[in-house]
Structure 1
């Protein structure tokens, strides 16, 4: 079979056709690199809020409902602080499950902020599941929760948790006294009774959420950084609402907090993550699972905003989070927070620290902000747009190889083993992040690959996005006639 296309040029052995493909591409199985997966639009789902006093097993029950270990669980009260949403599916029907911190009517300080988050969840949910410890029975706090929920416009279900056997069911019956209807005995740890409870949940949930539909396809943004750097404060400022619990105690956020925020006239999905204190292998308890959730949130995001405290020297924790973002291949915006506390001397020191410590990501977008005062937070939107545009960018094969031919002619790769490696042709194998494959006759030094990346950025942009370049060495083939 012959190919009737006309070749228009070559780059050290690869002939280019008018349609932008190259004669050697079929030999190299280029298709194995393609990564053009699309994102489905967001669908509005009804929300079930799981509420109750601290340490009754709400997060354990949430994990049981959604069928996976997402909510952080530890055998101490107060681990969950924000309201955090997860998607659940029962009998083919999808819905959102919102985990909340323990609700106490007379809470002070940090716990008061946690209680406000739970109250907001109760006000906005389509159905409410209140969890009570059946072993302990109804406490004064449970009764206070019940008084509030009896006035709720949304349907309320009562889960009597920690019922591990038939004897516990008799204890659960005493919870009728709360006035919330029939208590459904369950064991969140063992799964006992959760199927029957979910059947009742589906009966109570409407087909669509009360507050309209969500806009389709919001871009996903992860807020990352060390503890107490201002991630939750920034999310609250952007949302114009107390969406995340904010306190001067480092490590207030444990679970990733998901929020739809409208910026620049369109929706964005922001995820406030837990601050990373140390390597995951050195963490323990809730901190270990929070670290895993943060990594998961970053993997699910398209772009990360890394917050750095501009008023203090850049730390090893900052660099560890930076490495996590870079290794994940996400677009990146560096937000230097607390800029209102930075004087002239600190600005000079910060520039030197950036040149020294952030040399790995000179391509990242930079914005100086103050989450506390709201200074320059509106500049995050164009920075995010630029980073995402670069992350999605694709360069045609013809244009890429025309550029590469000029670069290689002016600056050929260094010799290796007494031989000069030739670059046959290049192709962009994928986006998100932009990934390029160079087909060569020999190995290319790391320094030359960095040179090509720098020239690639100068020519095509890619501001705010990592660029990956890999090399595939072509084996010599026997071209003799048989």
Structure 2
């Protein structure tokens, strides 16, 4: 089920990022001790009163070399395109400004619900001064303080009132949903067409989300059901989308959210770019099955070790995706594309693999015998019991004497032992340490 999307829009220095961080809480930081995972955020999952939603911080979306008012207008346009509900952020400290008066009519004309927030209203005297914001024509201004967290509850209460009813198509549990993500011009659309058109029995278009997206369902010759989650949004034409690639990230995130398996596509001609790291990092964080696909391989001049060297570069740049298989294809010549449905199916099965507790604990005991648990200030980590508590991604709880003693490096060692013993290719693994009661 697709989550509603909320965007925060406003001129610089009104506290958009502070509010963003407050609302999403500690989910903002990526808990990875590996290079290559991006740490700047424009999008995160949040929750209020049991309602989950995606939050966009347009402060994280920058247009270089653009005048300030143009930047703000274009960020407002993106919020209109992507969001179900828009929070327009202003500042009580500076009062109503010309930029505020420029953005408000654009948001109003969008027809989307717009909630007006007046930040930096830290004390009663300042709160009494917010009435000038009524002139923006966006209804009641909500006074808030990002630094103290005041008024956020009332603001979020109003936001969730405007969430749309979900109209998304429900698929059978056995249907594998996958998306193809990557920067513009990596060949996503031609890959979709080639995969779906190659050897399929049924092809149908099904209404996806409320965004007028269309998912493509197809069935392989051996009767397996697949759905390609719509990525047409990532190919959207228009000045804003052509000006900067950052916006394609937002569409990719929607597709990631609804997928079981994500095909992360790299253009062989251009190599690895920073935006690849950003988008692929989101798929990893979301716990999705991942296959790295190098497209346009037919256009590369090859020597004996060309593929091996390209693979080494990928492993170096995406250390946190060491579990993801790499497939070299050509959407144009259809080379190796026929292998993708089988690989997607395999990764999906690995995502849903359940390991019996007795076998899991034997594996942990063998691992500890091979590499004894670490000590810290004279105290040694003791592992009492391990159990799997979830799939997609496989999640394991390890009961120990003190969770602080399970260092990142030893957790990584245990993860590697699990991978060596069981087939978890293509799926991240989560290991959680809990103190035994």
> What TM-score does the superposition give when structure 1 sets the normalisation length?
0.47
Q: Is the 8 A contact 2:234 2:252 kept in 1?
A: no
Q: 1:36-435 maps to which residues of 2 (within 5 A)?
A: 42=1, 45-68=3-26, 70=28, 84-90=43-49, 93-102=50-59, 108=66, 118-123=76-81, 125-202=83-160, 204-206=161-163, 209-210=164-165, 212-213=167-168, 215=170, 230-231=182-183, 239-242=231-234, 258-260=253-255, 269=258, 305=263, 310-311=268-269, 332-337=290-295, 339=297, 342-345=300-303, 348-353=304-309, 365-368=325-328, 382-393=342-353
Higher helix share: 2
**By how many angstroms is 1:434 displaced?**
11
Q: Max radius of gyration: which structure?
A: 1
Is the 8 Å Cα contact of residues 236 and 242 (structure 1) preserved in structure 2? no
* Shift in Å, 1:146: 0.7
For the residues of structure 2 that align with 1:221 and 1:111, how far apart are their CA atoms?
39
Q: Distance in 1 between matches of 2:129 and 2:167?
A: 40
Instruction: From the superposition, tell whether residues 108 and 67 of structure 1 become closer, same or farther in structure 2 (CA, over 3 Å).
Output: same
Gaps of 5+ in 2: 31-38, 190-229, 360-369, 371-386, 397-415, 430-437
Residue 178 of structure 1: how far off its partner (Å): 1.6
RMSD: 6.0
Return the alpha-carbon distance in structure 2 between the equivalents of residues 355 and 310 of structure 1.
Answer: 11
3-state SS, counterpart of residue 56 of structure 1: coil
Structure 1: gaps of 5 or more residues: 1-41, 73-78, 225-229, 262-267, 271-301, 401-415, 417-428, 436-449, 468-482
* CA deviation vs aligned residue, 1:67-98 (integer Å, no higher than 9, x gap): 445289xxxxxx9885x3523213xx414243
Q: 1:353 to 1:116 in 2, by over 3 A?
A: same
Cα distance in 1 between the residues matched to 2:235 and 2:297: 23
Distance change >3 Å, CA 55–CA 110, structure 1 → 2: closer
Distance in 2 (alpha carbons) for counterparts of 1:250 and 1:106: 12
CA distance in 2, matches of 1:242, 1:177: 36
Q: Deviations over 1:210-233 (max 9, x none)?
A: 562364679798999xxxxx5576
Q: CA deviation at 1:239?
A: 0.5
**Partners of 2:428 and 2:83 in 1: CA distance:** 39
Deviation track 1:406-449 (CA, whole Å, cap 9, x = no partner) reads xxxxxxxxxx9xxxxxxxxxxxx8676699xxxxxxxxxxxxxx
TM-superposed CA distance for 1:191, in Å, is 0.7
Using structure 2 for the length normalisation, give the TM-score.
0.51
Shift of 1:371: 9.7
